[in-house]
Structure 1
Amino acid sequence: MDLVRQLLLKLEGIEKGPHDVLLIAGNSEEIAVEGRTSDEIYFHLTKIEEAGFLEHVGSGSMTAVTFRSLSWKGQEFLDTIRDDSIWKKTKEKAGSASYDILAAVAKAVLKNRIKSLTGLDIG
């Protein structure tokens, strides 16, 4: 899941117009991750797409995914795990659990942090 988080952060940071659609391949410079192969990156990009984290704009190619922006679901997940300390605590508690479990744990960690900082219990 570390690579998924890194890729979501990189995708969010790509500068482009609001209506631009990019083809992102595993070897695209914008999403290069040190120590990871283009095949690993492409595999995880397809999983990010399958999870519904990208706004679907049509078919890519056999070696790239289409990208306009993160979907609401993708942005929400990224916002939950963006903070390094929350991500670290989430991984400690959830280990290598599925996305659904990881997302639930991340939300719980974030809620606990908000409560400790503000005193508000947001459920």
Structure 2
Amino acid sequence: MRRDNDLIRSLLFEAEAMDDWLLCESGTIVINADQEDVRRGYHLLLLCDTGLFLEVDEGVFRLMNAGHDWLEAVRDETVWRKTKEAAGKVGGVGLDLMGSIATGFVKQKLAEFGVPLD
């Protein structure tokens, strides 16, 4: 299964928007689950692999501080689009580098507002 960075971003937004601090998925990876549930479950586990989510119990996840930071970097639609375009030009990159690319674009925007970062 290919990683879907848009789905990862969507899952982060979903977790952030919840009133509860836990995201519960019934049967994260189960036999006879429909394909969308399998995709979601797989991507939740990828988020755990990168430290953006933590699985606190089977099928129960929480958004980690690193996940909040990554989401802040990719929150703006223009930044996200540019990040995906830049990653695509080199054939794709990992989630850590996606966050770094997005942070670079955010820093560019801040510099345009006269905020020195160096």
Partner of 1:31: none
Runs of 4+ residues deviating >3 angstroms: none
* 1:120 matches 2:106: no
Displacement after TM superposition at 1:25 (Å): 3.6
Displacement after TM superposition at 1:15 (Å): 1.6
Q: Which runs of 5+ in 2 are unaligned?
A: 29-34
Q: Mark the CA change 1:121 to 1:94 in structure 2 (over 3 Å): closer, same or farther.
A: farther
Among 78, 103, 107, the residue aligned to 1:107? 103
Supply the RMSD in Å over aligned alpha carbons: 2.0
Displacement after TM superposition at 1:110 (Å): 0.5
TM-score by length of 2: 0.78
Distance 1:56 1:22 in 2: 9
TM-score by length of 1: 0.75
Displacement after TM superposition at 1:23 (Å): 2.8
Partner of 1:24: 25
Partner of 1:47: 46
- Indicate if the aligned counterparts of 1:86 and 1:106 stay in contact, CA closer than 8 A: yes
- Indicate if the aligned counterparts of 2:83 and 2:102 stay in contact, CA closer than 8 A: yes
Displacement after TM superposition at 1:56 (Å): 4.8
Q: Which runs of 5+ in 1 are unaligned?
A: 28-35
* 1:90 matches 2:48: no
Q: Deviations over 1:63-86 (max 9, x none)?
A: x2x22x311111000011011111
- Indicate if the aligned counterparts of 1:26 and 1:39 stay in contact, CA closer than 8 A: no
Displacement after TM superposition at 1:37 (Å): 1.2
